[in-house]
Amino acid sequence: MFSKEEKIYMLGLSRWAIDDHFITGNILKIGEDELPSDKFKEQQPCFVTLTIAGKLRGCIGHLEAIQPLYLDIIENSVAAAFNDYRFTPLTKEEFNNIDIEISILSKPQTLEFSSPDDLLNKLTPGTDGVILRRQKNSATYLPQVWEEISDKKEFLSSLCAKAGLEEHDWEKPGLEVMTYTVEAFS
């Protein structure tokens, strides 16, 4: 859990990284000695979600810890603003209107299930982030997506489509499902 001050710092770091990229075209570099807490040096994955007037404008992150949290925030902020393939790069005008949400992820856990009904019964809407994998295809939805897609079957069908699978592939054997939780703030 992060304190209010730590959350404010992370949101400011995200905004600073995007603003710096407009100016320099590079990824913001800061020294670990500039960090207000050692928590930011720990390896922890995050997603950065950008919205304008409640509409998605970019969302990029990592599902597993690959670098210190502060670096993940910086890189994912720039990637969400400029490299999300679903959107054109953020403009300076849009930057003035974006809302930033940061989601710090727990370690994903394999969800064991015996049937499609068992899978549905084991999912907790609003709490579970879900990763689906079948061979080379995979996709995730953060727990916040449950607010838009509250029906479990629709949620899984949409996630399958996002992964490039058939919408009802979640009902077929051989699907790997993992869940995680987030600490999200904006």
- pLDDT of 23-38, one tens digit each? 999 999 999 999 999 9
pLDDT value at residue 9: 97
Q: Which CATH class is domain 4-105?
A: alpha beta
pLDDT value at residue 159: 97
- Going residue by residue through the chain, which has 186 residues, state the pLDDT in tens, using 9 for 90 and above: 899 999 999 999 999 999 999 999 999 999 999 999 999 999 999 999 999 999 999 999 999 999 999 999 999 999 999 999 999 999 999 999 999 999 999 999 999 999 999 999 999 999 999 999 999 999 999 999 999 999 999 999 999 999 999 999 999 999 999 999 999 999
pLDDT value at residue 184: 96
Residue pair 142/131 in contact (Cβ under 8 Å)? The answer is no
CATH superfamily ID and name for 109-181: Hypothetical protein ph0010; domain 2 (3.30.1490.150)
pLDDT value at residue 177: 97
DSSP characters over 18-87? HHHHHHHSS-----GGG-S-GGGGSB--EEEEEEETTEEEEEEE-SS--SBHHHHHHHHHHHHHHT-TTS
For the chain, domain boundaries: 4-105, 109-181
- Report pTM: 0.90
Quick check: do 4-105 and 109-181 share a fold? no
Measure the CA–CA gap between 77 and 58, rounded to whole angstroms. 9
pLDDT value at residue 96: 95
pLDDT value at residue 95: 97
